[in-house]
Amino acid sequence: MTAPALPAQRLDRVRAALGEAGLDGLYVASPVDDVNHRHSANRRYLTGFSGSTGYAAVSPTQAVLAVDARYTAQARREAEPRGFAVFDTKGPQADWFPGFVAAAGLSGKRLGLSRSDLSYGDFLTLREAVERMPEADRPDLVPAPPLIERLRSRKDAGEIALLEQAIAIAERAFLDVTATLEPGVTAREFAAALDAAVKKHGARGFSFEPIVAGGERGAMPHADLSDRPFAPGEPIIVDWGAELSGYCSDLTRTFHLGPEPERFREVYEIVREAQQAAIKGVESGMGGADAHALAASVIERHGYGEFFTHGLGHGIGLDVHDYPPYLGPSSEDTLEDGMVFTIEPGIYLPGWGGVRIEDIVTLEGGRARQLSHLDSTLPAGVQP
């Protein structure tokens, strides 16, 4: 097993990938996620910079991060230790971009664009800035393969430690809130209490807007929050996570209030059997589609195959859905040591509700090591 790279090695790995892709450099812009307040996971992974606006360029000899005056001090604190020189910007991109390209050693060179980090509108602005440059200095703008995404798919020891902390916070918060849960509480109220508990335990907040759905609403895997109150004896799905230093956790538990509802034990035990089969059977070198089949085959054998309506799991890290890998029937990804991903089978029955159990694992020595520790055995029910 090759040890995952430490943060100081990331520039070297990117530069090696540039050579393999036939590129002289890589340009990483800064899309802004205003919902969850995370800004360009690719740029943050590469530079360490967590601000909303900034542009990174890497060549075989230079690494430069361009920011405006709002972020100069922050960029120097976060990015310079990663080997990035900070380039101050002012005015329209066309005014500062030629100097930025020169500082990165990419004038007249083949510059790969990180496609997931550049909107079409931003590309047009970038192209206009290039067209205003002297012809000999213009970089050749070309789409780059997902270089950073591939590097991000294998986590180093520091990343896994942060993920474990984010998971532990989410678990403690869930236990706090369910300890006093009663019928009549609405899904929205539960989510608000969970958010407060996540923050109390040290996270910045949720890593995504949670899914909290009781009764028949649980048959929608991505049900939005509602003001529907929880009733005794109905299944309740909670899908939530905490964000710590940019890293995300993502867990799901299903439980019920009071007496065990009809069918709940049967459906729950099938889902847990499917999840345990996947956790025990997944291994390095396996395809994402084959991993999905480990759980899907169990659910199909029990007659609920048509009610497992999504993939088995997804990578997780600086993004909640950190691709690759994707574990699903259409996946072409290969699982490798160092990857961290969810395993979350579910059964969704229209008019009744659903059951999903989601945990997070990493591959080490070819097998899965579970990073989440919240009990997933059949819940006795939260007693009102």
C-alpha distances out from residue 377 to 85, 130, 357, Å? 51, 59, 10
Average pLDDT, the chain: 93
Confidence label for 7 from pLDDT (cuts 50, 70 and 90): low
For position 383, what pLDDT does the model report? 46
157-370 and 7-152 share a CATH fold:
no
Question: In the CATH scheme, what is the code of domain 157-370?
Answer: 3.90.230.10
Q: Identity (one letter) of the amino acid at 290?
A: D
pLDDT for 2 beyond 50:
no
C-alpha distances out from residue 97 to 43, 69, 171, 305, Å? 18, 16, 46, 54
For position 307, what pLDDT does the model report? 98
Residue 121 parent element (H or E): helix 120-131
Predicted TM-score (pTM) of this structure: 0.93
In CATH terms, 7-152 corresponds, of 3.20.20.150, 3.40.350.10, 3.30.70.260, 2.70.160.11, to: 3.40.350.10
Nearest-5° angle of CA 22, CA 26, CA 27?
145
C-alpha distances out from residue 157 to 38, 49, 102, 160, 362, Å? 22, 20, 35, 5, 11
Confidence label for 367 from pLDDT (cuts 50, 70 and 90): very high
**What does the domain layout of the chain look like in residue ranges?**
7-152, 157-370
For position 31, what pLDDT does the model report? 66
For position 3, what pLDDT does the model report? 43
